[in-house]
Amino acid sequence: MNIELRHLRYFIAVAEELHFGRAAARLNISQPPLSQQIQMLEQQIGARLFARTNRSVNLTAAGKQFLADSRQIMLLVEEAAARAGRLHHGETGELNIGFTSSAPFIKAVSDTLSTFRRRYPDVHIQTRETNTREQILPLTEGSLDLGLMRNTQLPDTLEWEVILHEPLLAMIHHEHPLANQRAVSLTELANEPFVFFDPHVGTGLYDDILSLLRRYGVTPRMTQEVGEAMTIIGLVASGLGVSILPASFRRVQLMEMRWVPIIEEDAVSEMWLVWSKHHELSQAALRFKQQLQAAAKISISDENA
């Protein structure tokens, strides 16, 4: 059996017009080839679809059944084509994004997530909060489409770009004398008890901030090492020490703690967007990437205004 979609279109036209001449005009073909195609279709099926006389054309019982099924088939083909087209254009599908705990606090990231959700409600966004190092393998394997992480050593299987440079801020208990200063230097924090990430957690901020401190000859006196940035904030607010985190966390405001700018100009942290070299990005991932790039540029312009 070699029935093609055009045979179904021809049959549906004749079945709806019940007139070969009008059906041929509707299909923009001549009548003899149309009659031939219908005859070939009937031979393929092994049943008469039309009862023909010199004056009329009517559907047989088999024809009525075949018409209902043909319409359903054509509808399914149209729906399949529409779904494929929407997937190709990034309007449906699944988007898997990994991000560090600080990423959602960055305005460009939160704005992009919100805008993308409104524009493409049929794309299922699956987010996975994980530290920088734990994103590397899923990105390489392709189970994550995109990763948002702090600068770190990456394998050559991954591509990356800097989305933004973010100032680092000191976190100081509100009763501490340094909390009332307009800015602090890193050396002023040198002798303070330091609350920071556990080195085994794998956050990119650990190496990032410790490298900054070493550049200025500061070896922090670690008194508390924890796994989450929010825990660091809570412990500083409890008066157990000082710390340093990216400015995006400043959206967390506690009355017991102050966010104080750092004097050193290179006290910044980079947020990277990372993806695999060997797994082609879906259209949804490309759209998200483009929107995030645009949002980051707007965010930088606003800061410089």
Q: How confident is the model over 38-58, as a mean pLDDT?
A: 91
**Whether residue 295 has pLDDT greater than 70:** yes
Query: Which pLDDT belongs to residue 303?
Result: 53
- Between the two ends of the chain, the Cα-to-Cα distance in Å is 70
Average pLDDT over residues 29-45: 93
What pLDDT, on a 0 to 100 scale, did the predictor assign at position 300?
A: 58
In angstroms, the Cα distances linking 224 to 67, 68, 221, 255 are: 75, 72, 9, 21
Confidence category of residue 304, pLDDT binned at 50, 70, 90? very low
pLDDT at 169 over 60: yes
| pTM across the whole model | 0.70
> Running DSSP on this structure, what letter comes out for residue 294?
H
pLDDT score of 92: 75
> Which pLDDT score, from 0 to 100, does residue 51 have?
92
Residue 61 tokens read as 């019982």
Let me know: does 168 contact 140? Beta carbons within 8 Å: no
Distance (Å, rounded) from C-alpha 196 to C-alpha 260?
17
182-197 pLDDT, tens per residue? 999 999 999 999 999 9
Exposure string over 264-275, b if 16+ CB within 10 A, otherwise e: beebbbbbbbbb
pLDDT of residue 207: 85
What average pLDDT is seen over the chain?
A: 90
pLDDT category of residue 302 using cuts at 50, 70 and 90: low
pLDDT band of 132, cuts 50, 70, 90? confident
Q: Buried (b) or exposed (e) across 24-39, using 16+ Cβ within 10 A?
A: beebeeeeeebbebbe
Q: What is the pLDDT of residue 299?
A: 67
pLDDT digits (tens, 9 = 90+) for 243-262: 999 998 998 889 999 999 99
Mean pLDDT of 280-286: 90
Do 266 and 212 form a contact (C-beta atoms < 8 A)?
yes
